[in-house]
Each structure stands twice: as structure tokens, then as C-alpha cells.
Amino acid sequence: MNRRQAIQRVAMIIGGSVIGANLFLEGCTRSASKDVETLFEQSNVDLLNELADAILPRTSTPGAKDANVGAFIPVMIRDCYTSVDQKAFVEGLSTVDEVAQKEFNKKFAELTPEERLQFVNRLDKQAKDFQKEKKEKEKAREQDRANQNESSTNRQNQNANKVNDLDEFPNHFFTMLKQLTLTGFFTSEVGMTQALRYVKIPGKFDGAYPYKKGDRAFA
Amino acid sequence: MADNVYDAIVIGSGISGGWAAKELTEKGLKTIMLERGRNVEHVKDYHANKDTWEYPHRGGRTKQMEADYPVLKRDYPLNEKNLDFWVNEKESPYTETKRFDWYRGYHVGGRSLMWGRQSYRFSDLDFEANLKDGHGTDWPIRYADIAPWYSYAEKWAGISGNRDGLAVLPDGDFMPPMDMNIVEKDLASRLKKEYGGQRHFIMGRTANITKPHTGRINCQYQNQCWLGCNFGAYFSTQSSTLPPAVATGNLTLRPFSIVTEIIYDKDTQKAKGVRIIDAETNQTYEFFAKVIFVCASAFNSTWVLMNSATDVWENGLGSSSGELGHNAMDHHFRVGAGGRVEGYEDKYIFGRRPTGLYVPRFVNVDGDNKQRDYVRGFGYQGAASRGRWSGEVAEMSVGGDWKDAMLEPGDWSVGFTAFGEILPYHENRIYLDKKTKDKWGLPVLAMDMEIKDNEKKMRKDMSEEMKDMLDKVGVKDVYTYDNEYHFGMGIHEMGTARMGTDAKNSVLNKHNQVWDAKNVFVTDGASMTSGACVNPSLTYMALTARAVDFAVAELKKGNL
């Protein structure tokens, strides 16, 4: 009996019933707050694509909009982010056009490539300062708690389980946007196969593979 | 023969159970392999074809997943890609008297589908350790007893590796090794020179085949083994031990079969068979056989024993020595060092190699001149690689120029993680929590173990020694880390039904035979008398094949 026959035989013995439900699919259908649902509206998906494309624009290689990162971001915000971060993200996004209006007298989508770059670069700097401050606040609070709980025997279990949603300081809207833009782009089909080099089945290993400046990285 | 009567019963279908089934059926025994979870069919039920972008969260984790998998989320295993290879934690809870991270796979193939595949032999340094330093009890076997069985297991499983000629890490019957990359080669030769041949970066020995073998296709360097391999290039029950077992015509594989106890016959002082609950229908069934192999994964094998023959021994079958459930072990890790490697800008890596470098133990061995404030030792796993540039700069980090820069590879770097031995402490134990029940109304395990002074002292060396080595071989910006270890994270549960030299000090004899019921064999991690610092699965394969050989010979002699 060859191996292929052997495998078919196993399938027969067990009757071929497989219950391997993809549990995470159930996980993704959880009801999200109404605010988060607005991210899925086409106008917001479009705006997210424009913003993401300002962070990673098309050059000689595709950009974030080519990878439709704007459709990926709402899924991640809904399913993977805390309610505190969700709120911060929705609020942050809603102020984009206001800020653009104030600064350039037009909506974000109407800005020139240079203006867009200026816009996201300033947000990037703001976000970095904000995140630094958040880290300091968290550190201070942790210190406070450590002082209070010094006698607690339950520390290990606390470490194992993340602190409650409501306890969190939110992340900056732009920090989340940028991280999701990077993740979304570099894990997309466009990003992996057209911006980076992707070889699904390499078939061999070469640990001294020639490289010259400008060659793209492997995904 | 009635349809519930077999020659042999195998409980569990992972690395050890698969080997038991292969060996028993090839020796002509009609065998039923009982697996508590669902079937996973080779190739058909794998996830290897799917690309990252086809997952809604690109392989990440959602809040719902974190809520459903409170244990799995504590470390890397929680992910979107192979979630259905991990146990449903709500159905199968356990109790943490002390924190214990238990990463389980309840399905045909068990954790042979997701294992790390590093495959090393124990040496006499390991088999003699308990005797020499007085921790635990003496192993009833030595390297010479198991060496031929290591060869036997390696030849079928397909272990690729180099014959490095090191006493602490005996060579085996290997397939050609995978290659070091150019940076690793240079670092390895510098290390050898710096330490006068006392320390080595060697190629990781891994259960990935490097040439076609037993109908399997050699590794294609995708490095996505834990999704299941369509080429059968890494050892798993499905790729390696199940096909020959099936081919004999002697195997019956029964998924959804939770063994609740071994049926013990007081008159013959042997086991008659097992009782199971069908996980889907909740029906109870009994199966009978002359010999039973318990390979349900270390702690679950002990759970089965603890629930058996309780009318004879209050604490279960094999508990007469008082050692059942005790001497639990794992490997402690998540500590090490790394750094940046200068140069090699004109070199890159093609292919994703599913193994890395290994650094065999060098502390508390011949040639180690330093005084150590702990016993036993550790090894390292690591690699040099040329990753992508992270994009982290103070100046502008948005826009087209920035994106294009990120499309190029970054610097070369190197990193190592140490894996250390945990001593077999009697007080590190598991026990039945009869108040807490699983989905099927069965009592769950309680975990009560911790690392102690010896391991904590060792951890300092585990990062510092690597820092020294990396400094010496010219690695820049060397950093150390200790990301904290919690018992279980090594996913190398061992002990709780140890082998020993005497029925008074152990659960199993030198043939993995339960002292209290000689036709019951426990050959998985439960049987380990000490843990060494190397990955243990290859040892389970060898012990299992060896025990089957003994059991069948005994059967033929009429001794079982």
C-alpha cells in the first residue's frame, strides 16, 4: 500500500467527519458599538485609504490605498482594540477634516500630496509625544499600585491577565492608524507580492544569497 | 473477536501514541488508538495553502479570541492561523494552584502537529545527573540502553543534523543538516577559536527532512510548520507514524474517545482494558486488550492513572510509591541575549529555514572551569538573520521615501534564547481537583509547581554567558533580556509518573512498565526521571519504541 492509499484508508476508518470549526470566525461577529460601525461606511473607508496612502504612498511600488488598507483598519479596530482605543480612534478620525479645513481650508481628500505629507508628519510628531506621555502616566500608576499591593499574593495572576479596559489610557489616534497602516500594507497581497518579494514555496535555502543596494526585502 | 477486543490499546495519538501505534501494529498486534479530540487529516485539514492576507486579522488575535483562550493568550501560541489546533479551554479547564500555562492540542496528532521539532539525544551526563547530585531518583537506564532506540527513531522520523562529535550531545543517525547562513558560519568559527573548542554554535538538529524519505517530500523552506505541512516534511503522527500503522491493516483509530479510566483486574493484578466517554455523544464504551500504552501527554497520562483502580489504591493506578503526580518538570526559558552584526551588506537569505543554531550545554561539564552556584545546565537556540528595517527614526517617518527605505532589508542581527533544566522536585506536583469538572463531568487537574533557587540562579548565567560569547565573537550592541518564565511555557511537561530503579521510588520500571500493573506502559513525558536541558520529544519516541519491543516480547513469552 502506498502512502496515498494509506491516507485514504485513514479517512475511511474515521468516517471523514471533521468538526474543526474556525472558532475565531465566531469571535469576529461580536456586536461592536455603533460608533465603530461607522468606520465601515464607505466615506470613512475612503478617508482611511487616503490617510494610509499619505503614510505609505504609491511610489515606484504600490501604496497603502492600492492594498485597500482602508477596509482592513475598521475590522481590526472593531475586533482587536479595547473600547477605550475604539473611542479614541473614531474621535480622532472625525476631526481629520476639521483640522485640514482649519489649516488648509479644504478637506483632507482635497489636499495636494505635499500638504498631505505635511499633515501626517505633524500628526506623527504629536502622536509620538502623546505616546511618550501615556507611557509615563502608566508607569507612574503602576508604581502607585505596586506600593499599594506590596503584600498581595496574587501578583502572578494579575500579570497573566491584562488590566481592565476602562483602566487604560487610550492610544493616540494616529499611532493606531500608522501601526494598522503598516501591518495592513505589509501583510496584504499587494504589499507582500508587489512591494516586497514573496516566494511562497522557496524550495531551497541559501544563506549567502547575493544582495545589492536597492533589492527589495523578502516578505 | 468481539469488536471491542483488541491486542493493544494506545491512549493518545501524539508523538508517543503515534509511535506506539506504529510499533504495535507492525509487530502484528490488532491495536486501537484512542484520541480524545477530533480527527485531523493529513494535508486536508492543514492551513498551509492559505496566505496571510486571506485571514481577516492577518493571523493576529482578536478580543474574542483572548476571552476564549485565557491561557493560550499568555504567550505566542494564540493566533488566527492555527487556532483549531489548540484545545478549547472552556470545555477543558484546569486549576492553577500556582500559575501554570498549559498549551494543549486535543486532536489526532496532538502537539506533533505544532511542535518545535528540535531533536536531541540525552547523554549520560543527563542519565547520571540525579544519582550524582542527589536530586530526584536515579534513572533506571543509561545512554547505552537507549542509544540504539534513538537511532531507530531517528531513522524513521527523519532528523536532519550535523554529526558534531560532542560528548554532551551525542550524534545520531541524521539526514544531511540544514545550512548555516554566512553570518552564522563566521560566528561559529570565531566562537570555537575564542573558547578553544569548548563552546559551539552548531546547526539545530530538527525533525524536518532534507531529502525525500518514506514517501515524504523534503523541506521546502516555508517555515510555517505549525500550520501543518502539505509536503509531510516535518515529523508528525500524520506524516510519519500513522501511515505505516494504517498500512498494516491492524489499526483502528477512534477520535472523540476520552479515556476515563483503565479497568484494573484485582485477581490478575493487570489491566483488562479502558473505559471511555465518546466526546460527541457522551456514551460510555469499554475496550479490552492484553496491553495498554498510555501516551496521553505527560500530565493527562497521569490523570488517567489517577482515575484508575481507585478502589485498590486511593490515589490511583501506579500510586503505591507515593510518586504519582510528583516531580513535575518543564524547561525554563525566555531569557538570553542578542545583538547587531556589522557588515555582510552584500549578502542576504533566500528561503525560510525552520530551524536555527543550537549551543550545547557548557556549564557544569568537563572543561568548565568556572564555579557555578547551581547544578545542571542549559543550552541555547537562536539564529542570525537579516530582517526588515523597522522604520524607526527620529526624523520623518511617513511618506514615500520612508516607505521605499522600508522595502529594503535592514542590518544583520543575532539572538539566542536559553533553555534550562528544572530539577525534579517532589513537591512540584499535579493532583485531581474533584470539585472542578470539565464539559464531560470529569474532575480536572490542579497544577501546583514552581521554579526554585537553582533555576533562578541559573537564569542569571543564561543571559550573561551569552552576552560574553556575543561580545567575544564581535557582535555589537549586545543586550540581555529576561522576559519571565512561568511553569508550562516551555510546553515540555515532564515527570509525574517517573521511571525508577525500584517500586518504592517510582511509578514505572526501566521498561516504562507500571510497577503496579505490568501490562500498562507509560512512555510519554510523564515517564521522565529528569528533564535535561534538551528538547525531550526524541527521547519519548525512543522510549516508546523500546517499550513496545519489550512488551511484545513479554506477551509472546506469556508474561503479560
Looking at the complex, does the CB of residue B525 fall below 8 Å from at least one CB of chain A? no
pLDDT at res. B393? 75
User: What are B347's three cell numbers?
Assistant: 549578502
Show the DSSP H helices in B231-337 as ranges.
242-247, 298-306
* CB contact burial A62-77 (16+ within 10 A = b; e otherwise): bbbbbbbbbbbbbbbb
User: Is residue A14 over pLDDT 50?
Assistant: no
User: Is residue A19 over pLDDT 90?
Assistant: no
Q: Which of A3, A24, A195 shows the shortest C-beta gap to B80?
A: A24
Looking at the complex, does the CB of residue B388 fall below 8 Å from at least one CB of chain A? yes
Q: Does A201 map to a domain?
A: no
User: What are A148's three cell numbers?
Assistant: 499599594
Q: Which of B58, B247, B403 shows the shortest C-beta gap to A59?
A: B403
- Report the complex ipTM: 0.94
pLDDT at res. A56? 97
The DSSP code for B560 is -
Coil, helix or strand for A100?
Answer: helix
Q: Which chain A residue lies closest to B388 (C-alpha atoms)?
A: A217
> pLDDT-derived band of residue A167, with 50, 70 and 90 as boundaries?
low
**Phi and psi for B254 in degrees, rounded to 5?**
-120, 100
The DSSP code for B177 is P
Q: Does A154 map to a domain?
A: no
B398-414: per-residue pLDDT in tens?
999 999 999 999 999 99
Find out whether B355 and B118 touch, Cβ atoms under 8 Å: yes
pLDDT at res. B543? 98
Show the DSSP H helices in B212-329 as ranges.
242-247, 298-306
Q: Which of A6, A117, A199 shows the shortest C-beta gap to B398?
A: A117
Coil, helix or strand for B285?
Answer: strand
- Whether residues B407 and A196 touch (CB distance < 8 A) is answered with yes
CA–CA distance, B163 with B173 (Å, rounded to integer) = 9
C-alpha to C-alpha distances, B349 to B233, B234, B463, B536, nearest whole angstrom = 21, 21, 27, 30
Q: Does A151 map to a domain?
A: no
pLDDT at res. A151? 55
> Taking CA B221 as the corner, what is the angle to CA B219 and CA B224, rounded to the nearest 5 degrees?
100
> pLDDT-derived band of residue A152, with 50, 70 and 90 as boundaries?
low
Distance from CA of B387 to the nearest CA of A (A): 8
Q: First-to-last CA distance in chain A?
A: 40
**Residue bearing cell 492600492:** A66
**How many of the other CB atoms lie within 10 Å of CB of A88?**
21
Q: Does A219 map to a domain?
A: no
pLDDT at res. A164? 52
Residue A139 CB-density burial (10 A; 0-12 exposed, 13-18 middle, 19+ buried) = exposed
Distance from CA of B216 to the nearest CA of A (A): 9
User: What are B504's three cell numbers?
Assistant: 518504592
Query: Which positions 143-202 of B are in contact with A (Cβ < 8 Å)?
Result: 178-182, 184-185
- For residues A160 and B460, the model is more confident at B460
Q: Which chain B residue lies closest to A26 (C-alpha atoms)?
A: B64
User: Is residue B112 over pLDDT 90?
Assistant: yes
Question: What is the mean predicted confidence (pLDDT) over A183-204?
Answer: 97
- Whether residues B63 and A82 touch (CB distance < 8 A) is answered with yes
Q: Which of A19, A24, A211 shows the shortest C-beta gap to B83?
A: A24
- Whether residues A208 and B181 touch (CB distance < 8 A) is answered with yes
Q: Does A10 map to a domain?
A: no
pLDDT at res. B390? 76
User: Is residue A32 over pLDDT 80?
Assistant: no
Question: What is the mean predicted confidence (pLDDT) over B232-243?
Answer: 98
User: What are A202's three cell numbers?
Assistant: 522557496
Show the DSSP H helices in B209-306 as ranges.
242-247, 298-306
The DSSP code for A158 is H
- Whether residues B53 and A82 touch (CB distance < 8 A) is answered with no
- Whether residues B399 and A121 touch (CB distance < 8 A) is answered with yes
User: What are B527's three cell numbers?
Assistant: 515517564
Give me the domain span that covers residue A47: 31-143+165-195
Give chain B's mean pLDDT: 97
- Whether residues B41 and A11 touch (CB distance < 8 A) is answered with yes
pLDDT at res. A146? 85
Question: What is the mean predicted confidence (pLDDT) over B153-161?
Answer: 98
Kindly report the three-state secondary structure assignment for every residue of B455-497: HHHHHHHHHHHHHHHHHHCCCEEEEEEECCCCCCCCCCCECCC
Among B374, B519, B360, B527, CA closest to B458: B374
| Residues pairing with B335 in the sheet | B482
How many domains, chain A? 1
CA–CA distance, B504 with B322 (Å, rounded to integer) = 8
**Residue bearing cell 522510549:** B543
Q: Does A118 map to a domain?
A: yes
Kindly report the three-state secondary structure assignment for every residue of B323-392: CCCCCCECEECCEEEEEEECCCCCEEEECCCCCCEEECCCCCCCCCCCCCCCCCCEEEEEEEEEEECCCC
Find out whether B305 and B22 touch, Cβ atoms under 8 Å: no
- For residues A8 and A134, the model is more confident at A134
Q: Does A15 map to a domain?
A: no
User: Is residue B146 over pLDDT 60?
Assistant: yes
pLDDT at res. A165? 52
Question: What is the mean predicted confidence (pLDDT) over B496-502?
Answer: 98
Find out whether B237 and B14 touch, Cβ atoms under 8 Å: yes
Looking at the complex, does the CB of residue B230 fall below 8 Å from at least one CB of chain A? no
pLDDT at res. A166? 54
Q: Which chain A residue lies closest to B64 (C-alpha atoms)?
A: A27
CA–CA distance, A40 with A54 (Å, rounded to integer) = 20
Indicate the residue type of A45. Answer: V
> pLDDT-derived band of residue A8, with 50, 70 and 90 as boundaries?
very low
CA–CA distance, A147 with A169 (Å, rounded to integer) = 20
User: Is residue B298 over pLDDT 50?
Assistant: yes
Q: How many residues does chain B have?
A: 560
> pLDDT-derived band of residue A168, with 50, 70 and 90 as boundaries?
confident
Q: Which chain A residue lies closest to B80 (C-alpha atoms)?
A: A24
Q: Does A210 map to a domain?
A: no
Kindly report the three-state secondary structure assignment for every residue of B401-451: HHHHHHCCEEEEEEEEEEEEECCCCCCCEEEEEEEEECCCCCEEEEEECCC
Question: What is the mean predicted confidence (pLDDT) over B185-205?
Answer: 97
